[in-house]
Structure 1
Amino acid sequence: MPISRRTMLEAAALSLAGTAPVRAASPACRDGAAPATGWRPGIEGQRRADLGDGRYLNPIVSGDRADPNVLKDGADYYATFSSFDHYPGIIIWHSRDLVNWQPIGPALRTPIGSVWALDIAKHDGRYFIYIPVFVPPTPEAPSRSPFRVYVIHADSMHGPWSEPHDMAIEGYIDPGHAVGEDGRRYLFLGDGHRVRLSDDGLSKAGPIEKVYDGWPIPPDWVVEGFALEGPKVLRRGGYFYLFSGEGGTAGPPTSHMVIVARARSILGPWENCPHNPIVHTASRTEPWWSRGHATPLEAPDGSWWLIYHGYENGLRTLGRQVLLEPFTWTADGWPKATGGILPGPLPKPRGAVAGAHGFALSTDFAHDTLGTALTFFKPQPGYLERARFGAGGLRLKGQGSGPADASPLAMIVGEPVYRVTVDLEVHDGGEGGLLLFYDDKLFCGVGVTEGKLHSFQGGTRQMWPARPTIAGRRVHLRVVNDREIVTFSYSEDGTHWAQVVSFEVSGYNHNMGGGFLSLRPAIYAAGPGEVQYRSLAFAAGA
């Protein structure tokens, strides 16, 4: 039987990982929820939503892809997600069928702060990304609002993208672009606000106004807060439909939801849907928690779908993952979601040929993967010059005194069970290592200096237990994450392995650490020297 190119790619990636193919893991469903089954393994065993039989199983994109925003552009769909403190940021993904997605690359390389829920728009043949950014006040500017809205633009979704332009919109998050019946452009903003834009879409052209109060959440519902956010405007059948999130995106499993309002004019007034909320996690026993922040989309076959995010039951460390749910229009013109609690496989949208999905995380570092597989956490200006890719691997220049201030290189992982192995060598007093990294205050892992191993837990360097010595500067490190029980091991020859330390990491999530992030495998370089990484091997499954 002929071997497909995809099979050869997967075999090559698994060969690099030093492992046989593994079974893709089913998602954890705790507290009595029935587990979903039937995952179709993709590249390196990673989860693939498309089951190959006309059905799909959520998530459609696994791992930390919070606040999904999707643009339908003819036969193409483009998505991007909150990249927060990771750069290069705003990774753009492409699909033809809403189920299979592949990354194109980053749209933002210049650090401007923590990138939150953004919006993609196309107007008069040009593409725009509206970017809310969180920058904490400083002693030099104590009164400045921590939130600002920027915009970048391009002639193609493949770029090149402009440098970010400050729109002088302060104090608001979650922009949503819309065009009114009069052809004027607007941004809807968090907490029910709206501002008119200039014709070129690059600046505000009027005052910011409160135009919508949201849907009144019943007082006995257990939510994180009111949090009216994520406005997305759809024009259909004589109405403007405003899809929003409420309830908070983390906190209790029952926090988040999708609500809808409509108006005959972009100027309002807005009438709430009688079926609100159209999406809501009502119980902690459901397979997906905190479902919300939806974009409505028409599929190639004319059916309608919501793309939104949610936490996998009991696996907050993976972050908010991308979910796809069908909806219909009622006789009186309101959307009605039909996927229930998303308990298992659903029929796929039709009308388009399925494309490839995902990408390999394993690498020999011969080619630059910044902005797709790897991103720097809170990088300093000039950060791209720290990394040199080539035939000998990645040479990463040291920064800071340890993982907390080294701006580690991290990757998003969407599997409950996986392992990552790296081959590294420290040079000239450098320190490197392998981490599971949430942020600069919350991480664990193993570090290496010449002749010595170190361990980290809870964001601090540990003094116990006793660490083994190593013969030289080169070592192999491995982490196995088995549903939030993680074990770090080392090998001096790449064949014989010894355990260093194990941790339980279920608390390494937003509800403990804040910041809306996820727990990511990461590598780093600290100290005066540099670290050479010759390979990184990833494998998913039990």
Structure 2
Amino acid sequence: MTPRFFLLISLMAACLVGCQRTAEPGAETSAPTDGTFQNPILAGFNPDPSICRVGEDYYLTTSTFGYFPGLPILHSKDLVNWEQIGAVLDTNQQMNLDEQRITRGFFAPAITHHDGWFYVICTLIDGYGNFVSRTQDPAGPWSDPIWLPELNGGIDPSLFFDDDRVYVVYNLGPPNNEPLYSGHRTIRMRELDPNTFKPIGEERLLVNGGSDISQEPVWIEAPHIYKTKGYYYLMCAEGGTAYNHSEVVFRAKNLTDDFVPYENNPIITARTLDPDRPNPITTVGHADMVELPSGEWWAVFLACRPYEGNHFNTGRETFLAPVEWTEDGWPVINPDFEAVQYEYPLPNTGATSPSPVPLNGEFTYRIDFDEPLDNRWMFLRNVRRPWYELNTEVGNVALELRPEAIDIRDNPSLMLRRQTHLNGSFATHLDFTPESANEQAGVVILQSETHYYFVNKTVDQLRLLKQTENGQEVLAEVPYTDEGVHLKVEAHEDVYNFLYSENGETYDSLADGVDAKYLSTETAGGFTGCMYGLYATARGESSSNSAVFDYVEIVNE
């Protein structure tokens, strides 16, 4: 595969779907036939959602941290069914993710539309800080980043256009860098030049500490400003992105006035609910709101579906809930319930928007590699050269065995899909003849560089490896010398089963009941969710060998 052809595939991915699927009737859309929809609307690792509306079209982006392409752009006409149409950062020229940890990289983007242009502002947390990228076509291409070094280390920025003026609001440390307590942060605002995005005038402090600083609120962040109903509303996350997460709101008559907190903050949270309730939705916060042409308001926000305590492997996901305004003009998310619901009546958008591929619900999804790769494949950091070769005539993808490995901060031969369900499976067929002890290929379930499981084929064995901070442990192994093997990972909430088969019909167990909590963020740390992957490595050695994968089948229950 030539570099030019590889780049062409990357640029065309937004409009080409490289998969076939079988599903139950109705699984193509997220909306049941009874006039309701199912949460989460974006299952699996899709945190920090931000949304905007242009006419009858809605556009959304989420955080991607150390994964590439960065910052997906999704489109919908009904707020429920979403299609990924591109990504903000999909070329090496735009952004360098080298050495970024998986759980660092791109934090908390915000998408805005103004005067025919789309803008995404975001933070590269361990790089040059905050940047803006823009385009007139949300499917791309997007511009090279415009860096905003003057924000002095602020994070979670968003843009607010007020007629012909533009402002950036963001999270920054306490006044004079003198915290009154641990987690003391502030929300700041600066006006920007609308053409160059250089700051104009002085930075302004909007919120010190949170909605009630006497209660020592922590991690006020993710600010968004809305101009509606005679006020400027400032909505922020508060409490940190874990179990105490929440959303709070302030308002002012003019941008130069003090922002007053709502006396009944927070406007949504799950921290007050019984942690032992069945099927909990937790860590609710980091929201963004949008008004529909019908006059309804809806909010997208992140939340989690733990299977036990604070353990979840699907990451922080994107949920949708209605917004109502109180008689005295304050927005409240999910007003009719204490807990976020798994189903709500459909938003009154006046449109339907079936997704070409499912993003939630129960379905079986098969990729036969007989068409160009769809854009839901993700990679670790920038893909510097084409180390995979897609053969659509035969229907397979070949991964080069290279020295790069997952536990080293580089770009290994690794193709990834999100784990979107607590229960389900990921299966593939591998053709691979190792030529040395270092050559390994197979299926990975990944949380971070130090926390993943790898079921792989070696010279004469199938092995299950557990990656730790101190190296790799062999959890199971069986003799195996055939060239081809079907590999499967089954997820059952708090455990994974690893299986293999010669014929793809009758499977034998390599290891059952493997601890899934080890890959939860509660154990592994970080902010991402688990990813299934096709992986090949020569671990520090050069190799001319490759591993061939014939299909991927994803079952979500």
Q: 2:355 aligns with which of 351, 357, 361?
A: 357
CA apart distance, 1:515: 2.3
* Alignment partner, residue 362 of structure 2: none
Q: Quick one: distance in 1 between partners of 2:86 and 2:161?
A: 28
> Does the 8 A contact of 2:246 with 2:266 survive in 1?
yes
Letter in 1 for 2:388: A
CA apart distance, 1:324: 1.3
Distance 1:505 1:516, change over 3 A: same
CA apart distance, 1:134: 1.5
* Alignment partner, residue 316 of structure 2: 320
> Does the 8 A contact of 1:98 with 1:299 survive in 2?
no
> Does the 8 A contact of 1:508 with 1:519 survive in 2?
yes
* Alignment partner, residue 295 of structure 1: 288
Q: 1:311 aligns with which of 301, 304, 309?
A: 304
Q: 1:98 aligns with which of 76, 79, 101?
A: 79
Q: Quick one: distance in 1 between partners of 2:223 and 2:276?
A: 28
- 1:247 maps onto 2:239 in alignment: yes
Show structure 1 runs of 4+ deviating over 6 A.
none
* Alignment partner, residue 21 of structure 2: 13
Matches within 5 A, 1:44-443: 49-109=30-90, 110=92, 111-113=95-97, 114-135=105-126, 148-168=129-149, 169-180=151-162, 183-190=164-171, 191-200=186-195, 202-213=197-208, 214-216=210-212, 219=215, 226-250=218-242, 253=243, 255-281=244-270, 282-283=272-273, 284-285=275-276, 287-314=280-307, 316-337=312-333, 338-340=335-337, 341-357=339-355, 359=357, 361-369=365-373, 372-379=375-382, 382-383=384-385, 385-391=386-392, 392=394, 393-400=396-403, 402-405=405-408, 406=412, 408-426=414-432, 429=435, 430-443=439-452
Letter in 2 for 1:307: V
Distance 1:104 1:434, change over 3 A: same
Equivalent residue of 2:72, what SS? strand
CA apart distance, 1:210: 2.5
* Alignment partner, residue 183 of structure 2: none
Q: Quick one: distance in 1 between partners of 2:50 and 2:413?
A: 27
Letter in 1 for 2:387: R
Equivalent residue of 2:522, what SS? helix
Matches within 5 A, 1:13-32: 13-14=21-22
- 1:42 maps onto 2:50 in alignment: no
**TM-score normalised to the size of structure 2?**
0.81
CA apart distance, 1:217: 6.6
CA apart distance, 1:201: 5.4
CA apart distance, 1:277: 0.4
> Does the 8 A contact of 2:128 with 2:147 survive in 1?
no
1:73-132 superposed Cα distances (whole Å, 9 cap, x missing partner): 111000010011110121111111111212112221234341110111122211111121
CA apart distance, 1:417: 1.0
* Alignment partner, residue 143 of structure 1: none
Q: Quick one: distance in 2 between partners of 1:122 and 1:278?
A: 25
Equivalent residue of 1:192, what SS? strand
Equivalent residue of 1:511, what SS? helix
Q: Quick one: distance in 2 between partners of 1:100 and 1:194?
A: 34
| Cα RMSD (Å) | 2.5
Distance 1:421 1:215, change over 3 A: same
> Does the 8 A contact of 1:80 with 1:93 survive in 2?
yes
Identical aligned pairs, as a percentage? 23
Q: Quick one: distance in 1 between partners of 2:413 and 2:235?
A: 36
CA apart distance, 1:219: 4.4
Q: List gaps (5 residues or longer) in structure 1.
A: 1-8, 15-20, 23-39, 136-145
Distance 1:336 1:535, change over 3 A: same
Distance 1:447 1:208, change over 3 A: farther
> Does the 8 A contact of 1:326 with 1:339 survive in 2?
no
**TM-score normalised to the size of structure 1?**
0.83
Q: Bigger CA drift: 394-403 or 147-156?
A: 394-403
Q: Quick one: distance in 1 between partners of 2:146 and 2:546?
A: 34
Distance 1:217 1:334, change over 3 A: same
> Does the 8 A contact of 2:420 with 2:556 survive in 1?
no
1:31-83 superposed Cα distances (whole Å, 9 cap, x missing partner): xxxxxxxxx9624xxxx641222112321221111000001111100001001
Q: Quick one: distance in 1 between partners of 2:351 and 2:189?
A: 38
Letter in 2 for 1:57: Q
1:150-181 superposed Cα distances (whole Å, 9 cap, x missing partner): 22111111111122232224411111111236
Equivalent residue of 1:231, what SS? strand
CA apart distance, 1:523: 1.4
- 1:494 maps onto 2:483 in alignment: no
Equivalent residue of 2:21, what SS? helix
Count of aligned pairs between the two proteins: 483
1:361-397 superposed Cα distances (whole Å, 9 cap, x missing partner): 5212233436x32111234x515x1222122411222
> Does the 8 A contact of 1:42 with 1:357 survive in 2?
no
CA apart distance, 1:356: 0.9
Q: Quick one: distance in 1 between partners of 2:154 and 2:520?
A: 25
- 1:533 maps onto 2:543 in alignment: no
Distance 1:407 1:67, change over 3 A: farther
Q: Bigger CA drift: 88-97 or 51-60?
A: 51-60
1:259-279 superposed Cα distances (whole Å, 9 cap, x missing partner): 000112223310101121000
1:399-418 superposed Cα distances (whole Å, 9 cap, x missing partner): 33644243632211321211
Equivalent residue of 1:404, what SS? coil
Equivalent residue of 2:407, what SS? helix
* Alignment partner, residue 458 of structure 2: 449
Distance 1:327 1:473, change over 3 A: same
Equivalent residue of 1:367, what SS? coil
Q: Quick one: distance in 1 between partners of 2:304 and 2:508?
A: 34
